[in-house]
Amino acid sequence: MAKTRGLIIAVGLFLIGICVHSASAAPPETWAISNKAACKGLTVSWTPTLANLQLLVGQRWHPAPGPVPGHGILLLFATSCPQSRIGNKPTGAFTIGAVIVPVENPEDTHGIQLTNGHGWAVITDVLGVESNPVMQLFKRHGFAVTDAKVTLRMHRGTKDIEPTVSIVTPAGHMGVHAQVTGPAKRFDIVSALAGNDASIFSLFTGTESYSRQDQGTAIVTSGGKSLVSDLGLEAKPTKVMLDQDFIWSFRFSDQLY
| Inside any domain, residue 71 | yes
Distance, in Å, from the CA atom of 140 to the CA atom of 221, rounded to the nearest integer, reads 31
What's the domain count of the chain?
1
Residue 15 buriedness (CB in 10 A; 0-12 / 13-18 / 19+): exposed
Nearest residue to 145 via CA among 188, 94, 187, 105? 94
In a domain, 204, yes or no: yes
Would residue 10 count as lying in a domain? no
Task: Please report whether residue 78 resides in a domain.
Answer: yes
Report CA dihedral (220, 145, 109, 252) to the nearest 10 degrees.
-120
Contacts with 161 (C-beta within 8 Å, 6 or more apart), sequence order: 154, 155, 179, 180, 181, 213, 242
Within-domain flag for 17: no
Buried b (16+ CB within 10 A) or exposed e, 100-116: bbbbeebeeeeeeeeee
Element housing 8 (H / E)? helix 2-23
- Full residue range of the structural domain in which residue 242 is found: 27-256
pLDDT in tens, the chain (257 residues): 444 444 333 434 333 333 333 445 789 999 999 999 999 999 999 999 999 999 999 988 999 999 999 999 999 999 999 999 999 999 999 999 999 999 998 877 666 766 555 689 999 999 999 999 999 999 999 999 999 999 999 999 878 999 999 999 999 999 999 999 999 999 999 889 999 998 888 999 999 999 999 999 999 999 999 999 999 999 999 999 999 999 999 999 987 76
